Chains A and B, each alone.
Chain A
């Protein structure tokens, strides 16, 4: 069964700092990986989707990389802002290329003004 781990569980940084969030997964036979953002009391918002054939994907100040062979992905946030404060979750298909997504427990990010 696919397992997803996100480290650290929580991170607090000053505004303007560049930061990296980590995601690791046990079954590397995935067809994509998604990063989501969740604000308190809200649903999840998709940030980036990386196909298995891609190594990275960029959207504004966000850059996600994927290394399937090592079972790892990183989400890089440049020049962090207080509005980036949220919980960030990564998700990959369950073992065997299932349609089911397995989520990590997330990294809670706080960006201090």
Chain B
């Protein structure tokens, strides 16, 4: 398997523009997570899905952020409108649900977002 695939790898945009980040999880994985990483705050969970259903979005900073998972092989994280403080690396990760045992989490390479 190719692993978790994210696009774009780098995005530079201006304040106020809409940003869409994309993720393809590993085939067969039924959990998908979106994390954000900054120097100041480290890795923060934004939202996660189980079987394409959003389970916990309490980490989403505000209404400007939204995430969807229309099918098992695709998810998007959208920021509209973007602000300079949204500049960070956004990671997508996926894993299987074991029989009572949680499996390893696999990360994509990340999308580095810079909002000017």
Chain B contact residues: helix, strand, loop or mixed: strand
Chain B CB within 10 A, most for which of A51, A91, A100, A105: A100
- A31 partner residues in chain B, CB cutoff 8 A: 101-102
Given contacts A99-B48, A104-B42, A51 and B107 within 8 Å (CB-CB): no
> B42–A34 contact, CB under 8 A?
no
> B107–A34 contact, CB under 8 A?
no
- B93 partner residues in chain A, CB cutoff 8 A: 44
Interface residue from B31, B56, B91, B112 paired with A44 (Cβ < 8 Å): B91
Q: Which residue of B lies closest to A102 (CB)?
A: B45
> B105–A46 contact, CB under 8 A?
yes
Confirm or deny: B110 has a beta carbon within 8 angstroms of a beta carbon on chain A: yes
- A34 partner residues in chain B, CB cutoff 8 A: 104-105
Chain B contributes a number of interface residues (CB within 8 A of A) equal to 23
- B116 partner residues in chain A, CB cutoff 8 A: none
Q: Which residue of B lies closest to A44 (CB)?
A: B107
Given contacts A103-B42, A103-B43, A106-B42, A46 and B104 within 8 Å (CB-CB): yes
CA distance A91 to B106 in the complex (A): 13
Given contacts A44-B91, A99-B50, A100-B48, A49 and B104 within 8 Å (CB-CB): yes
> A105–B50 contact, CB under 8 A?
no
Interface residue from B45, B107, B110 paired with A45 (Cβ < 8 Å): B107
Confirm or deny: B109 has a beta carbon within 8 angstroms of a beta carbon on chain A: yes
Confirm or deny: B12 has a beta carbon within 8 angstroms of a beta carbon on chain A: no
> B45–A101 contact, CB under 8 A?
yes
CA distance A103 to B45 in the complex (A): 9
- B107 partner residues in chain A, CB cutoff 8 A: 36, 43-45
Given contacts A34-B104, A44-B107, A99 and B42 within 8 Å (CB-CB): no
Chain A interface residues toward B at CB < 8 A = 31-32, 34, 36, 41-46, 49, 51, 89, 91, 93, 98-106
Chain B interface residues toward A at CB < 8 A = 4, 31, 33, 42-43, 45, 48, 50, 55-56, 91, 93, 101-110, 112
